[in-house]
Amino acid sequence: MFHRALWMRNQKLGSPAVWGIYISLFLFLPYSFFGKAQNMLTEKNNPYRDAPENYYLNFHFTGSDIVLFLFLVIGLAALLVGSERTSHATDLTFSLPFKRKEIFLSKWIFGVGHITTGLLVNLLVCMLIVKFTILSEVTDAAFLFEFMMIVIPFSIAIFSFSLFIGTVAGSLVSQLVLSGIFLLFPIGFLSLIASFLEYHGISINRDAHTTQVFGDLINSLTLPIPIIDFRYDINLSTENSFTEFSHIPYVMLLIPLAYTILSVVFGTWLFSRTKNENNGRLLVFEKGRGFFTFGVVLCFALTFGMLGGGIFGDYDSRSLIGYYLSAAIGGVLAYFMLKKLIHFRMQFGK
Amino acid sequence: MLRVNNISKTIEGSQVLDHVNITLEPGTIAGLVGRNGVGKSTLLRVIAGILDPDEGQVLFNDTDIHQDPQVKQKITYVPDSTEILKSYSVKEIVKLYDAIYEDFDVVYFYSLLDRFKLPKNKKIRTYSKGMKALFLMILSFSTKSDLIILDEPTNGLDPIVKRNILQFIIEEVSERQLCVLISTHHLEEVEKMADVLIMIKEGRIESTTSIEDAKSSFRKVQVVYKHSLPEKIEQLNNVNILNQTGRVYTLMIEGNIDATLEKMNSENPLLLEELPMTLEDIFISTLGGESHVS
């Protein structure tokens, strides 16, 4: 799995996303931090004449600043697995003298290596910028350490999970789409279930503490959310001073760890049994198609029910008939769409 | 060297390979022929370890290639798609193959590029289709593999390059005692270079014989009778009508040749003469079809 040839092969496949990861992290972390420091310095040196007290020290950072990086992480996984399936390149990779397990693990190590390096280097540079610029008058770099503790395991989990999706998806496009859907699945599915229950008059009110714990759990299970929701706000102006710092509890770090372990274990197992004859199709394995179809039809039905349920009633008295009619339309549409898509082959370069 | 044991493979509910058995020895060039969609490429992809068989094993020097792919250090597969390495430059590919194959011969590789006049400082995507096919073959032979699997290798090559590359394959096999398994559309190539002819029909191996044996067990004749072809002759199991123009029949006799010719003569033909026979005639007679092969 550490074979130089496999590393070279992965480098070739994944290089656009790897470059994207390094460049986006650089732009949205150190470059942006340095820009903020320069702005603050300019403002300090040139206070507003009519209101010099307006010179105040504030700093703001959210995980959503690096949302492009998260897309690129999913893209990297899709380039490493899905692009090969779409371009016939699996014929080369699988004919080489390597075990499939080694091929899959080499892809995982390659991705994790670049993601971790990119984050570590750029966040360390950010810490230096905070320490050695005017930003040090506002904050210290501890919040970046906290961010690092969250962003690294969750990014690795996102990558591992997307790579795992690549072992069941048959093409680049299906891997990207399914990764996106399943990464947001926990919170999305919960909303659909909550809406279903509400339409049937079942209340899901709980006490504040339970709601908080449950919310944290669902947010952490939805891997991109803890990164995007990370917020650090500090304002040291005399009139309006505050510090706001929101992130998930550290115990939730067990979730990305579990995602990563399960994705790697099941991904390796499935990749070793991959059905390359189905490359280019929506799914690689024929056995799971029935279950997959059931899941997609159910989700579409619930979504259409949620969106269209209000048509026949108003906010206070929602119409159950409207809900089921919309759900039926959604389910039937999804079924016929999927029937077409599941046999569609997307392959190029023959 | 290569033993394909009872391989079966079902894809999307249809059985593409049905208990296929092949044995190939070192120093052999084997031509795999069959009509479109009979499972030639699937068989080669199973042998190369790209596809898993539902049943059976592929053994290379008594090692199962699916269980222990490391044995593929001595096997290379050249697919019919020439696009797989298009994003690489020649130098990058040399580095990659040198890292993959322990015995990859860089000097030999460059000498072959010179011999076949392929540019060295370009991306593969700038090559023509024929150049890409040639390049993949050169790459494959430079790994010093003992078994080389070629899927439609001469597609897109011009006649001169094709002749040179076929000559090159024959040289390599005779010098290094390697084994080459070729699936091709061009029967004249198989006829020129192959020692063994493997005919595949509907996922099953129809026959595995040497080219000489294949030819000696068939006879192509042209025959004219006063009226139409006598029923006695038409009903013979080993006689196939290749062509009929009026009362002139072109027939292919498979096995039991002398006795069959005797029967034909006993029906007093106006004309009975042997015709020169090509592999294509055997192909059409054995595997069915009209005027062309696949």
Q: What is the predicted ipTM?
A: 0.84
- List chain B domain ranges: 2-213, 218-287
Instruction: Report the candidate in B178, B198, B200 with the shortest Cα–Cα distance to residue B190.
Output: B198
Nearest to A9 among B50, B83, B96 (CB): B96
**Which residues of chain A make contact with B49, given a CB cutoff of 8 A?**
94-95
Q: List all residues of chain B from 76 to 95 with a beta carbon under 8 Å from chain A.
A: 76-77, 79-81, 83-88, 92, 95
DSSP A132: H
More confident residue, B208 or B106: B106
User: What SS3 class is residue B179?
Assistant: strand
DSSP B89: B
Nearest to B95 among A8, A95, A96 (CB): A8
Beta-bridged to residue B274, according to DSSP, are B221
Nearest to A88 among B42, B70, B81 (CB): B81
The reported pLDDT for the residue numbered B292 is 37
The reported pLDDT for the residue numbered A206 is 62
Residue B62's region, left for phi above 0, alpha for psi from -120 to 50, else beta, is: left
- Residue range B92-109, pLDDT digits in tens: 999 999 999 999 999 999
**Residue B284: exposure state from Cβ atoms within 10 A (0-12, 13-18, ≥19):** buried
| Cβ distance of A92 and B69 shorter than 8 Å | no
Instruction: Report the candidate in B23, B133, B147, B3 with the shortest Cα–Cα distance to residue B73.
Output: B147
Q: List all residues of chain B from 181 to 210 with a beta carbon under 8 Å from chain A.
A: none
- Taking the CA atoms of residue A153, residue A158, residue A161 and residue A163 in that order, the dihedral angle to the nearest 10 degrees is -110
> Sorting pLDDT into bands at 50, 70 and 90, what band is B293?
very low
Cβ–Cβ under 8 Å, residues B1 and B25: yes
- Residue range A48-62, pLDDT digits in tens: 666 655 556 788 899
Residue B39's region, left for phi above 0, alpha for psi from -120 to 50, else beta, is: left
Cβ–Cβ under 8 Å, residues B140 and B103: no
Using only C-alpha atoms, chain B has a radius of gyration, in whole angstroms, of 22
- In this complex, is the C-beta atom of B259 within 8 Å of any C-beta atom belonging to chain A? no
What fold, for B2-213? Rossmann fold (3.40.50)
The pLDDT of B254-264, averaged and rounded, is 86
| Cβ distance of B83 and A8 shorter than 8 Å | no
Cβ–Cβ under 8 Å, residues A163 and A263: yes
The reported pLDDT for the residue numbered A20 is 97
The reported pLDDT for the residue numbered A242 is 80
Nearest to A12 among B12, B87, B99 (CB): B87
- List chain A domain ranges: 4-184+226-278
The reported pLDDT for the residue numbered B280 is 77
**Which residues of chain A make contact with B101, given a CB cutoff of 8 A?**
97
> Sorting pLDDT into bands at 50, 70 and 90, what band is B288?
low
- In this complex, is the C-beta atom of A95 within 8 Å of any C-beta atom belonging to chain B? yes
- In this complex, is the C-beta atom of A10 within 8 Å of any C-beta atom belonging to chain B? no
| Cβ distance of A91 and B50 shorter than 8 Å | yes
The reported pLDDT for the residue numbered A51 is 61
Phi, psi (degrees; rounded to nearest 5) at B177: 55, 35
More confident residue, B285 or A120: A120
Sheet holding B179-183, edge to edge: B75-78, B147-151, B179-183, B29-33, B196-201, B204-210
| Cβ distance of A95 and B72 shorter than 8 Å | yes
- In this complex, is the C-beta atom of B158 within 8 Å of any C-beta atom belonging to chain A? no
pLDDT at A98 over 60: yes
The pLDDT of A164-186, averaged and rounded, is 94
The reported pLDDT for the residue numbered A349 is 62
**% residues pLDDT > 90 (chain A):** 62
The reported pLDDT for the residue numbered A315 is 60
The reported pLDDT for the residue numbered A268 is 97
More confident residue, A167 or B245: A167
- Residue range A290-302, pLDDT digits in tens: 999 999 999 999 9
- In this complex, is the C-beta atom of B52 within 8 Å of any C-beta atom belonging to chain A? yes
- Residue range A253-287, pLDDT digits in tens: 999 999 999 999 999 999 999 999 999 999 999 88
- In this complex, is the C-beta atom of A94 within 8 Å of any C-beta atom belonging to chain B? yes
| Cβ distance of A276 and B50 shorter than 8 Å | yes
| Cβ distance of A99 and B88 shorter than 8 Å | no
The two tokens of residue B219 are 């006879």
| Cβ distance of A96 and B72 shorter than 8 Å | yes
- In this complex, is the C-beta atom of A62 within 8 Å of any C-beta atom belonging to chain B? no
- Taking the CA atoms of residue B54, residue B57, residue B58 and residue B63 in that order, the dihedral angle to the nearest 10 degrees is 140
Q: Would you list the DSSP string of A149-177?
A: HHHHHHHHHHHHHHHHHHHHB-SHHHHHH
More confident residue, A315 or A212: A212
- Tell me whether the CATH fold assigned to B2-213 matches the one assigned to B218-287: no
A-interface mutation test, from B9, B64, B83, most A Cβ less than 10 A away = B83
Residue A349's region, left for phi above 0, alpha for psi from -120 to 50, else beta, is: left
More confident residue, B194 or A318: B194
- Residue range A222-247, pLDDT digits in tens: 999 999 999 999 887 766 778 888 87
The reported pLDDT for the residue numbered A61 is 93
**% residues pLDDT > 70 (chain A):** 92
| Cβ distance of B70 and A97 shorter than 8 Å | yes
More confident residue, B218 or A348: B218
The reported pLDDT for the residue numbered A150 is 94
User: What SS3 class is residue A144?
Assistant: helix
| Cβ distance of B79 and A4 shorter than 8 Å | no
- Residue range B140-181, pLDDT digits in tens: 999 999 999 999 888 777 888 888 888 888 888 988 889 999
Supply the CATH classification number for the domain B218-287: 3.30.70
In this structure, of A36-40, A168-172, A175-179, B233-237, the range with the lowest mean pLDDT score is B233-237
pLDDT at B237 over 90: no
H helices of chain A, where?
A: 4-26, 32-45, 67-77, 83-87, 90-95, 100-132, 142-168, 172-183, 185-199, 208-221, 224-228, 254-272, 289-308, 320-341
Shortest Cα–Cα distance, B183 to chain A (Å): 16
| Cβ distance of A95 and B11 shorter than 8 Å | no
> Sorting pLDDT into bands at 50, 70 and 90, what band is B283?
confident
Number of C-alpha atoms within 13 angstroms, CB side, residue B279?
A: 27
Mean pLDDT of chain B: 87
Shortest Cα–Cα distance, B76 to chain A (Å): 7
Q: Which residue of chain B has the CA closest to A343?
A: B12
Q: What is the spatial distance between Cα A39 and Cα B71, in angstroms, rounded to a whole number?
A: 62
In this structure, of B60-74, B243-257, B275-289, the range with the lowest mean pLDDT score is B275-289
Phi, psi (degrees; rounded to nearest 5) at B204: -115, 150
The pLDDT of A38-52, averaged and rounded, is 76
CB contacts < 8 A, A to B, total 77
- Residue range B264-282, pLDDT digits in tens: 888 888 888 888 877 777 7
- Residue range A116-161, pLDDT digits in tens: 999 999 999 999 999 999 999 888 899 999 999 999 999 999 999 9
